[in-house]
Structure 1
Amino acid sequence: MSTRVRYHPSYLEHLHGLPVHYFAGPDDGPGPGPHLPPPASVAWRLTADREVPFEERWSSFLDRVRTDEVVALVIGAWWQEWDEHGIGPVLDLITAEAHRLPRLRAVFLGDVEPEEAEISWIKQGDVGRVLRAWPGLYELGVRGAENLVIEPLRHEELRGLRIESGGLPPEPVRGLAACDLPALRHLELWLGTSWYGGDCTAADVRALLAMLDRSPRIAHLGLRNSDIQDEIAAAVAAAPVVAGLDSLDLSMGTLSDDGGAALLSGQPLTHLRALDLGHHFMSEGMTRRVRETLGAHIPDLGLTPAHRSARRPEERYVAIGE
Structure 2
Amino acid sequence: MTDSTPRDSDAVLGGQTPPPTTGAILGGLAGARQRLESEAISARLTALKEAFQYGEQGIDLAIQALDDSTEEVQQLACRLLRISDRGRQSLLEHRPLSYFTTLADWRHEIYNPQIGITDPENNAYVVRMTNSGRSGSYDLSQFEALLNEPRLAELQALVFQIDYNYCDEDHTFGVAIEAICDAQERMPNLKALFVGDSEGGHFVERSYRAPEFRKSKIRVFDIRPFLEAFPKLEVFQCYGYFAEYTLECAGLRHESLKSLIIETSDMLYENIEQLCSIELPELEYFELWVGRSYHSSGSPLDRMLPVLSGYAFPKLKYLGLCSL
TM-score where L is the length of structure 1 = 0.56
Q: Which of 15, 25, 37 matches 2:118?
A: 37
- Paired residue secondary structure (2:158): strand
Stretch moving more, 90-99 or 188-197: 188-197
Distance 1:126 1:80, change over 3 A: closer
Q: Which of 90, 93, 97 matches 2:179?
A: 93
Distance 1:154 1:50, change over 3 A: closer
Alpha-carbon RMSD across the aligned residues, in angstroms, is 2.9
- Structure 2 residue 119 is matched with structure 1 residue 23: no
Q: Deviations over 1:58-112 (max 9, x none)?
A: 2111113521000011111245776532211111111111011110001011152
Q: Deviations over 1:176-233 (max 9, x none)?
A: 22221110000010100235979753321224424x424232111111111xxxxxxx
Deviation of 1:156 after TM superposition, in Å, equals 0.9
Distance 2:107 2:296 in 1: 33
Partner of 2:313: 215
Q: Which of 142, 155, 164 matches 2:263?
A: 164
Stretch moving more, 41-50 or 76-85: 76-85
- Paired residue secondary structure (1:38): coil
Distance 2:297 2:191 in 1: 29
Length, aligned pairs only: 205
Percent identical across equivalent pairs?
Answer: 26
**Higher relative contact order (Cα pairs below 8 Å, separated by 6+ residues):** 1
Deviation of 1:155 after TM superposition, in Å, equals 1.0
Q: Decide whether the 8 Å contact of 2:131 with 2:138 is kept in 1.
A: yes
Distance 2:112 2:138 in 1: 12
Partner of 2:304: 205
Q: How does 1:2-13 map to 2 (within 5 A)?
A: none
Q: How does 1:41-120 map to 2 (within 5 A)?
A: 41-49=122-130, 53-78=138-163, 84=169, 85-114=171-200, 119-120=215-216
Distance 2:168 2:219 in 1: 8
Stretch moving more, 14-23 or 91-100: 14-23
Partner of 2:220: 124
Give the structure with higher Rg (CA). Answer: 2
TM-score where L is the length of structure 2 = 0.56
Q: Decide whether the 8 Å contact of 1:45 with 1:76 is kept in 2.
A: yes
Q: How does 1:154-303 map to 2 (within 5 A)?
A: 154-194=253-293, 200-210=299-309, 212-226=310-324
Deviation of 1:142 after TM superposition, in Å, equals 0.8
Distance 1:115 1:148, change over 3 A: farther
Amino acid in the other structure paired with 1:66: R
Distance 1:162 1:144, change over 3 A: same
Distance 1:205 1:103, change over 3 A: same
Deviation of 1:24 after TM superposition, in Å, equals 3.4
Amino acid in the other structure paired with 1:71: Q
Distance 2:298 2:264 in 1: 12
Deviant stretches of 4+, over 6 Å: 115-118, 196-199
- Paired residue secondary structure (1:163): strand
Structure 2 residues not aligned, in runs of 5+: 1-101, 203-210
